[in-house]
Structure 1
Amino acid sequence: MSMTDVLNAADITKAAEAFHDPESFCHKKFFHLVGLKKKSPADVNKVFHILDKDRSGFLEKPEVQLILTGFQPNCRALSDKETKHFMDAGDKDGDGKISIEEFASMVAES
């Protein structure tokens, strides 16, 4: 399954372009622009599983750093600062990773 099976390709491109510049990433704005906020819980789960490259059931720091490439392969990696901000926003239980429930909560809050 690819991201375009769940989200509109034009929305993905628009969202990716909005955060092309380093230190510009905001997960709330990104989730809104990419159309994830309007999706069903089942679709949010599908997106999570696409981003969970190692199939661990969690998004760990290396996966978060490459989150934009999970939506569109030619995107940039997040900076260390952007990655830390995303992890801090999502990792509610402090275990160093983001669960599917924590990810769904992040999307809902955006």
Structure 2
Amino acid sequence: MALNSILNADDIKKALAAFAAAESFDHKKFFEMVGLKAKSADDVKKVFLVLDADNSGFIEEKELKTVLKEFSPEGRELTDKETKAFLQAADKDGDGKIGIEEFTALVHQ
């Protein structure tokens, strides 16, 4: 499933442009800019399933690193620092990965 079937392609493009520079990624602003924050829990789950590239039921650190590329091939990889900060913000149970409930809570913060 393509993310632009859930989110507006222009919103995705603007958000990726806003965070094109290294060390500029802010997950809260990004989710708001792409319109995900305003989406239903069902739509957030659909996005989670796309981001969970290996279908493990979790978004792991390696998947977080390329999260922007999942929104668009023009997206950049997150730096190690950004990836760790993103993981830390979402991983409430400390298992080193993000489950669907953690992701939904993070998006709707």
TM-score range, shorter chain: over 0.9
1:54 matched residue in structure 2: 54
Q: What 5-or-longer segments of structure 2 have no aligned partner?
A: none
Instruction: Give the aligned length.
Output: 109
1:33 matched residue in structure 2: 33
Residue identity in the other structure for 2:80? D
In the alignment, does 2:81 pair up with 1:81? yes
In the TM superposition, 1:58-77 aligns within 5 A as: 58-77=58-77
Q: What 5-or-longer segments of structure 1 have no aligned partner?
A: none
TM-score between the two structures when normalised by the length of structure 1: 0.98
4+ aligned runs moved over 6 Å, structure 1: none
Residue identity in the other structure for 1:36? L
Q: Deviations over 1:35-88 (max 9, x none)?
A: 001101000000000110000000000000001001111211000000000000
Sequence identity of aligned pairs in percent?
57
Kindly report the root-mean-square deviation, in angstroms, between the aligned alpha carbons of the 2 structures. 0.4
Q: Report the CA distance between 1:91 and its aligned residue.
A: 0.3
2:98 matched residue in structure 1: 98
| Structure with greater proportional helix content | 1
- Measure the CA separation in 2 of the matches of 1:101 and 1:73: 27
